[in-house]
């Protein structure tokens, strides 16, 4: 248990140092905040001195120095106004400092999402990543804001109050200083225990967000399979776990304030008792004791505030740790500066390629393929044989473990990913549309395209028929949920038609389109594929009969290849696949 606590403390300190590197970019704002905090505290500490002098002006009934009292009252009002102005300016700067720091961290996290390997994103859940970038960063923002606002002022208040107390009475100041570490030890003890609970709380909250996102995003499937009751049970289990850690985190953190207040109350009572004896001895006046009691209260109050700040910062550092885990995730392999020469002819050479998602489960082994420019290459095989994985390797969404892939004689690992991907147009079975206008979605890969070019591509892809019936046609704002699956797929096809890349990848590109429209789109694809190297992944074998070569994959290997006629004549696995779709034969 002791080792776990030490490790937790080290992680918290390491996370805090990382946050400080982002804060350090705004040193001027930080310096101004500290300066204004010091000014505000000094101004506030002069006020008790003036009150003490005012009390000493009242000697006895009928013996009151009203002239001095009036002068002191005026000075008190001026100091109060100046202190309030300093505090307001400090809070303004703290807000700007906090949100700029958080903005930098969130921007870094978003950029890192674009830079980590797809394997990292596939291994986690979307909800958990969203939780880190949004909710966890918001929690960090709240903690930093409280830290800047209360921590700076609190530390300055403690230091300056000690200075002013020493000017009034050295003996009482020493007594207060000797008792001070008790509050620190209590706050430190509680903070260590609460951090572990806050970290577990944020982890479980990430799981909860992921589950909610998963269930809400697929509500139709949940209802279709009557999964609602089981989903509720999963949510209840996570919710109970979140409640357990939340209660413990709140319990530990809530102990800080009352414990430090109890210690501070004891210190205040001791100051009053010692001061009373000093008054009786003639070494202290009533006004000076009032000043010392005020200082003792002001000196101890920041400990309460700082303990609350530590509690908030503990939760904030737990959240920051999760964000930095994302920011510091191992990025994808370095991207070369060299660009793939364009335009490419479409010659693709794959030699002895091997790949596996996990070391103990080989998927593609010793894969070899040579594609001439303009060839139509169909890839078929049972589910899980590696068809889509092959596409991922060709686009460098994943990196191969062995072998080479070359386009026009250039190894794709010697050129930048962006220059490689510009040579391909992809239409996948899983469609994606951004929230925006139809024009924005169609011109996604070619923003400079004119309306005439967009409309021509839409007509060729057979999507113009439903686009022109929309309220504002190309200017209609859509989201991923506004259209049918078939309409979304037609828009994705139009997107590729507009770009007209040198090479095409069609992964079940017409799976959600009705048969009549599919025939029309297939004609458009035939025109688009003319002279372009095309890779076609298909389950409906009738759609790839005209391919120049058909690769039959099984367990990550090419077991057969040839034209449709050649493969059917061979009577092998392809024949079994083909007949199963038309004659109901078992594979």
Secondary structure (3-state) at 56: helix
pLDDT in tens, 544-565: 777 888 888 877 777 888 888 8
- The pLDDT assigned to 587 comes to 40
**What is the predicted pLDDT for the residue at 582?**
62
- The tens digit of pLDDT for each residue in 368-412 reads 888 888 888 888 877 767 777 888 888 888 888 888 888 888 888
Q: Each residue of 332-347: b (16+ CB within 10 Å) or e?
A: beeeeeeebeeebbbb
Q: Given this structure, which CATH class describes domain 18-327? A: mainly alpha
Q: How far is residue 455 from each of residues 151, 450, 460, 461, 490, measured CA to CA in Å?
A: 60, 9, 9, 10, 13
pLDDT at 4: 44
- Residues listed for the chain: 587
> How far is Cα 447 from Cα 452, in angstroms, rounded to an integer?
13
Cis peptide upstream of residue 343 (ω within 30 degrees of 0): yes
Domain residue ranges in the chain: 18-327, 348-583
Q: Are strands 348-355 and 63-64 parallel, antiparallel or unpaired?
A: unpaired
Q: What is the mean pLDDT of residues 327-347?
A: 80
Cα–Cα distance, 365 to 349 (Å, whole number): 16
Say yes or no to pLDDT of 2 above 50.
no
Residues 6+ apart with CB under 8 A from 404: 349, 350, 351, 352, 353, 411, 413
Q: What is the pLDDT of residues 159-168, one digit of tens each?
A: 877 777 777 7
The mean of the pLDDT values for the chain is 78
Under the banding of pLDDT at 50, 70 and 90, the label for residue 191 is low
Q: Give CA separation, 568 vs 247, 418, 449, 551, 564, in Å.
A: 67, 39, 44, 13, 6
pLDDT classification of 1: cutoffs 50, 70, 90 = very low
Cα four-point dihedral sign 215, 217, 219, 224: negative
Please, which residues bridge with residue 402 across strands?
A: 354
Residue 558, SS3 per DSSP: strand
* Short-list 112, 121, 137, 113, CA closest to 323: 137
Contact 103, 146 (CB under 8 A): no
pLDDT in tens, 449-492: 888 888 888 888 788 888 888 888 888 888 767 777 777 878 88
Q: In 329-441, where do the E strands start and end?
A: 348-355, 364-371, 376-380, 402-407, 410-411, 424-427, 436-437
Residues 519-539: pLDDT tens digits? 766 777 777 777 788 888 877
Burial class (CB in 10 A: 0-12, 13-18, 19+), 530: exposed
Q: What is the pTM of this model?
A: 0.63
Q: How far is CA 400 from the centre of its chain?
A: 28
Residue 120: name the closest of 331, 403, 269 by CA.
Answer: 331
Q: How confident is the model at residue 509 (pLDDT cuts 50, 70, 90)?
A: low
In percent, the amount of the chain with pLDDT more than 70 equals 86
Counting DSSP H helices and E strands in the chain, the numbers are 20, 14
- 547 is written with which tokens? 């391919």
pLDDT value, residue 32: 86
Asked whether the predicted pLDDT for residue 572 surpasses 60, the reply is: yes
pLDDT tens sequence across 130-158? 778 877 887 777 777 777 777 767 777 77
Mean per-residue pLDDT, 315-341: 80
**How far is it, in rounded angstroms, from Cα 303 to Cα 310?**
10
Higher-confidence position of 384 and 496: 496
Q: How far apart are CA 276 and CA 270, in angstroms?
A: 10
Q: What topology is assigned to 348-583 in CATH?
A: Rossmann fold (3.40.50)
Q: Of 372, 373, 376, which is closest to residue 529 (Cα–Cα)?
A: 376
In the predicted structure, residue 62 carries a pLDDT above the cut 70:
no
Which pLDDT score, from 0 to 100, does residue 513 have?
Answer: 67
Q: What is the pLDDT of residues 265-321, one digit of tens each?
A: 777 777 778 777 777 777 777 777 777 777 777 777 776 666 667 767 777 777 788
pLDDT of 581: 67
What would the mean pLDDT of 15-44 be, rounded to a whole number?
81
Which position has the higher pLDDT, 100 or 216? 100
| Residue 585 pLDDT grade (very low, low, confident, very high; cuts 50, 70, 90) | very low
């Amino acid at each position: 248990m002791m080792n776990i606590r030490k490790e937790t403390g080290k992680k918290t300190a390491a996370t805090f140092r990382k946050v400080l590197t982002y804060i350090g970019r705004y040193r001027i704002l930080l310096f101004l905040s500290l300066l204004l905090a010091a000014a505000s505290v000094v101004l506030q500490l002069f006020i008790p001195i003036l009150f003490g002098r005012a009390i000493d002006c009242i000697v006895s009934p009928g013996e009151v120095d009203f002239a001095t009292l009036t002068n002191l009252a005026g000075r008190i009002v001026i100091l109060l106004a100046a202190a309030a102005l300093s505090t307001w300016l400090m809070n303004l700067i703290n807000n700007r400092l906090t949100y700029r720091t958080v903005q930098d961290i969130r921007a870094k996290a978003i950029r890192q999402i674009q830079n980590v390997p797809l394997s990292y994103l596939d291994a986690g859940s979307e909800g958990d990543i969203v939780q880190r970038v949004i909710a966890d960063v918001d929690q960090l923002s709240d903690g930093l804001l409280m830290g800047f606002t209360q921590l700076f002022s609190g530390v300055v208040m403690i230091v300056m109050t000690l200075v002013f107390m020493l000017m009034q009475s050295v003996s009482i100041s020493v007594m207060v200083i000797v008792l001070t570490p008790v509050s620190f030890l209590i706050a430190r003890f509680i903070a260590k225990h609460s951090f572990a609970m806050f970290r577990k709380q944020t982890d479980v909250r990430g799981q909860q967000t992921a589950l909610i996102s998963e269930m809400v995003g697929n509500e139709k499937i949940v209802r279709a399979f009557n999964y609602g009751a089981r989903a509720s049970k999963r949510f209840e289990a996570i919710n109970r776990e979140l409640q357990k850690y939340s209660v413990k985190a709140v319990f530990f953190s809530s102990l800080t304030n009352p414990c430090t207040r109890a210690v501070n109350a004891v210190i205040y009572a001791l100051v009053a008792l010692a001061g009373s004896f000093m008054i009786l001895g003639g070494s202290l006046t009533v006004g000076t004791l009032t000043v010392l009691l005020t200082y003792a209260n002001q000196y101890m109050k920041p400990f309460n505030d700082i303990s609350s700040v530590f509690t908030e910062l503990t939760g904030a550092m737990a959240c920051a740790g999760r964000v930095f885990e994302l920011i510091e995730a191992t990025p994808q392999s370095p991207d070369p500066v060299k660009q793939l020469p364009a335009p490419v002819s479409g010659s693709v050479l794959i030699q002895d390629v091997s790949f596996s998602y996990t070391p103990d489960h080989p998927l593609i082994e010793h894969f070899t393929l040579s594609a001439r420019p303009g060839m139509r290459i169909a890839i078929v095989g049972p589910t899980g044989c590696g068809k889509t994985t092959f596409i991922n390797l060709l686009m460098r969404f994943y990196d191969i473990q062995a072998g080479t892939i070359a386009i026009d004689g250039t190894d794709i690992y010697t050129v930048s990913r962006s220059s490689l991907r510009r040579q391909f147009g992809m239409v996948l079975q899983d469609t994606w549309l951004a929230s925006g206008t139809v024009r924005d979605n169609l011109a996604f890969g070619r923003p400079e395209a004119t309306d005439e070019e967009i409309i021509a591509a839409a007509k060729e892809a057979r999507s113009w028929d439903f686009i022109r019936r929309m309220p504002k046609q190309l200017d209609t704002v859509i989201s991923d949920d506004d259209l049918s699956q078939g309409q979304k797929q037609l828009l994705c096809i139009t997107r590729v038609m507009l770009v007209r890349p040198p090479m095409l990848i069609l992964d079940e590109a017409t799976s959600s389109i009705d048969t009549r429209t599919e025939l029309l789109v297939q004609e458009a694809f035939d025109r688009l594929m003319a002279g372009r190297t095309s890779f076609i992944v298909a389950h409906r074998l009738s759609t790839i009969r005209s391919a120049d070569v058909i690769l039959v994959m099984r367990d990550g290997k090419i077991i057969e290849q040839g034209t449709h006629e050649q493969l059917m004549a061979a009577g092998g696995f392809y024949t079994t696949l083909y007949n199963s779709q038309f004659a109901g034969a078992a594979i």
